A and B are shown apart, each in its own frame.
Chain A
């Protein structure tokens, strides 16, 4: 077992435990933990199963088998980043809608107020 594999086992187990702990403490919503858990489990599985890695390496034409680990990790990283971009976009749309609503309500209140003043 190569050194990189031992390191990646340790790191993936650490990520797994860390993410579960974050969810347990309600610091991370379960829906946002799914991708992290999936990537940690995938890296863990590849690190433990030597043959899987060799097989992937052969298919992909990678000479140095453990590099497949990096490839998988980077792949998951990209997916995570895109996922976050989507979440941020959604959030910023929601913030915009909220701010618009507040501004409209404020004006509505003011207009109501001035109507009252006129009739009083």
Chain B
């Protein structure tokens, strides 16, 4: 596995999009720009999660593919669709970005670098990791929510993840394999961290300055927030009670240092 890291890996960058026709073109061109001078092979993929707007007709070319869900399946299933594509096409690394423009494509390289250096299975672009002084920190309420999940993660696993709700993340081949084999959960971010840690995945964080959403409404609306907190709380407490998956054996099991 370590040898694989040395080789130039093939990287899939996938963007989750639900009614993001307005934001997508600029995100895609920004990703292309940031990958243009990369020394690895890369491909961009849009996961169109049953959008009702023109998302499906956003220009695709040989560099950009699009997968369109027949109807809205949620973030978890969309993320998994991207990972299944990465797995089937033998990508070594998959990077997830959200189509609302919060995740700056300029940070992709930073995340990839961290992955390569640490060999972590999952690298999270984190809003609150020390080192990030500037940038959009989202609303006060949201910050409290993230802190809450961070503490809960720590209580359940003993590992400190500063921004467990961040969807800006990078999976290596084994993490891809792991997450394609469990049923997708909606609002999967925090739960996937617990599942991952329980199964021996190593998780690292990189400080990233998030941007404010470019346009459109947040995917999580007001009443959904309450639902989100309750649902994710239940999901992660239960997830922490699960035994490690029988059919998933890491070839390279490591220790988490948080």
Residues B43-67 near A (CB distance < 8 A): 62, 65-67
What is the predominant secondary structure among interface residues of chain A facing chain B?
helix
Asked if A96 and B77 sit within 8 Å, CB to CB, the answer is yes
Residues of A within 8 A of B (CB-CB), count: 12
A103/B81 in contact, CB under 8 A: yes
Chain B proximity of A16: nearest CB distance (Å): 36
Is there an interface contact between B69 and A107, defined as CB atoms closer than 8 Å?
A: no
**Contact call A93/B68, Cβ cutoff below 8 A:** no
How far is the CB of B235 from the nearest CB of chain A, in Å? 13
Provide the residues of chain B in CB contact with A99, threshold 8 Å: 69-71, 73, 77
A114–B66 alpha-carbon span in the complex (Å): 13
Partner of A96, one of B62, B67, B73, B85: B73
Complex Cα distance, B176 from A84, in Å, reads 32
Hey, which chain B residues are within 8 Å of A102, CB to CB? Answer: 70
Interface of chain A residues 43 through 62 with chain B (CB within 8 A): none
Which residues from chain A contact B73 at a C-beta distance below 8 Å? 96, 99-100
In the complex, A65 Cα to B144 Cα: how many Å?
Answer: 53
Q: Within 8 Å CB of B66, what residues of A? A: 107
Q: Quick check: A107 and B85 within 8 Å, CB to CB?
A: yes
Complex Cα spacing A23 to B85, Å: 41
Which chain B residues lie closer than 8 Å to A107 at the CB level?
65-68, 85
The distance in angstroms between the C-alpha atoms of A93 and B73, with both chains bound, is: 10
Does B69 lie within 8 Å of A103, measured CB to CB? Answer: yes
The 9 A-B pairs at the shortest CB distance, nearest first, are namely A107-B67, A103-B67, A96-B77, A100-B81, A103-B69, A93-B183, A99-B70, A96-B73, A99-B69
27 residue pairs bridging A and B, Cβ less than 8 Å apart: A93-B183, A96-B77, A96-B183, A99-B69, A99-B73, A100-B69, A100-B73, A100-B80, A100-B81, A102-B70, A103-B67, A103-B68, A103-B69, A103-B70, A103-B81, A104-B67, A104-B84, A104-B85, A104-B88, A106-B67, A106-B68, A107-B65, A107-B66, A107-B67, A107-B68, A107-B85, A110-B65
